[in-house]
């Protein structure tokens, strides 16, 4: 069994906020070089997620377990494409063979921490709002308390996202176990929260545009989103962004 390297083996560097935009830009350029293969990758991911969503009880849990596997596979494919290699369709499952256990563990660990964080945050919000449960009662609260609650909720969700943002890349590119991958991701995210936030806003805007033509734009948006994670890893933990 390969031992996971210590978390400090890949110290994060600070990058400018504008690099969050460059991550998306460089991801688009990389996807554009082999568009048909990336579209096939996205179609496979969406098809599997739709099939899992149709399962009545266990489907959501399986979807949570599969998502990091695909994220790791996209990162590995992005690394090969960045080196100039021609991608093969089978590489959409590249992480399933060598990294299945840590990536599944990452998905389950992150889901458990997210549920715990949401429970704690809800308790905090209920305390702030006087234990109110009724949405109509909450709407009657002063605007200041409502804004504080919204800021706490948004901040909690953003902080939780930092635990996962770099984590799939940390597993497949650095060999971290799930918990060390999340610690590594949090360290890189906190050091570059502005760039991560800008990248998230850009991806959210692009997602809105991708959903307009009957959602067909998702086939392009998904690869760009996943490859943006690879670009972010390269910029913060790796050799820097490629020049294209």
What pLDDT is recorded for position 194?
Answer: 95
What pLDDT is recorded for position 152?
Answer: 66
In a domain, 196, yes or no: yes
In a domain, 178, yes or no: yes
Q: How far apart are CA 31 and CA 229, in angstroms?
A: 13
In a domain, 6, yes or no: no
In a domain, 153, yes or no: yes
Q: Which domain holds residue 30?
A: 11-236
Percent helix / strand / coil, the chain, rounded to 5:
75, 0, 25
Per-residue pLDDT tens listing for the chain (244 residues): 445 665 566 789 999 999 999 999 999 999 999 999 999 999 999 998 888 888 877 878 788 888 999 999 999 999 999 999 999 988 888 898 889 999 999 988 888 887 877 777 677 666 655 555 555 555 555 666 566 666 666 777 788 888 899 999 999 999 999 999 999 999 999 999 999 999 999 999 999 988 887 778 889 999 999 999 999 999 999 888 776 6
Taking the chain, what is the end-to-end CA distance rounded to the nearest angstrom? 38
What pLDDT is recorded for position 24?
Answer: 97
Give residue for tokens 């969406």.
Answer: 46
In a domain, 243, yes or no: no
What pLDDT is recorded for position 2?
Answer: 45
In a domain, 37, yes or no: yes
The residues, ordered by sequence, that sit 6+ positions from 108 with a Cβ below 8 Å of its Cβ are 64, 65
Please state the domain count of the chain: 1
What pLDDT is recorded for position 72?
Answer: 95
Q: How far apart are CA 118 and CA 81, in angstroms?
A: 37
In a domain, 242, yes or no: no
Q: CA separation (Å) from 125 to 128, 135, 136, 154?
A: 5, 13, 15, 12
In a domain, 241, yes or no: no
pTM (2 d.p.): 0.84
């Amino acid at each position: 069994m390969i031992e996971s390297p210590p978390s400090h083996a890949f110290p994060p560097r600070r990058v400018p906020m504008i690099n969050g935009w460059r991550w998306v830009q460089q991801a688009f350029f990389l996807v554009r070089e082999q568009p048909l293969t990336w579209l096939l990758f996205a179609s496979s991911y969406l098809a599997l997620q739709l099939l899992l969503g149709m399962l009545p009880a266990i489907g959501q849990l399986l979807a949570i377990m599969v998502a990091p596997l695909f994220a790791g596979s996209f990162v590995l494919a992005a690394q090969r494409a960045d080196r100039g290699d021609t991608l093969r369709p089978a590489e959409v499952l590249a992480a399933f063979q060598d990294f299945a256990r840590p990536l599944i563990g990452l998905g389950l660990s992150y889901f458990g921490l997210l549920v715990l964080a949401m429970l704690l945050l809800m308790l905090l919000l209920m305390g702030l709002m006087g234990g109110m449960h009724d949405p109509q009662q909450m709407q009657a609260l002063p605007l200041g308390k409502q804004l504080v609650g919204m800021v706490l909720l948004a901040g909690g969700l953003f902080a939780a996202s930092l635990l996962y943002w770099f984590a799939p890349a940390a597993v497949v590119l650095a060999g971290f176990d799930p918990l060390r991958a999340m610690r590594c991701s949090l360290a890189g995210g906190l050091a570059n929260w502005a760039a991560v936030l800008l990248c998230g806003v850009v991806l959210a805007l692009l997602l809105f545009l991708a959903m307009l033509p009957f959602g067909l734009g998702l086939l392009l948006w998904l690869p760009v989103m996943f490859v943006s994670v690879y670009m972010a890893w390269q910029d913060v933990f790796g050799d820097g962004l490629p020049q294209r």
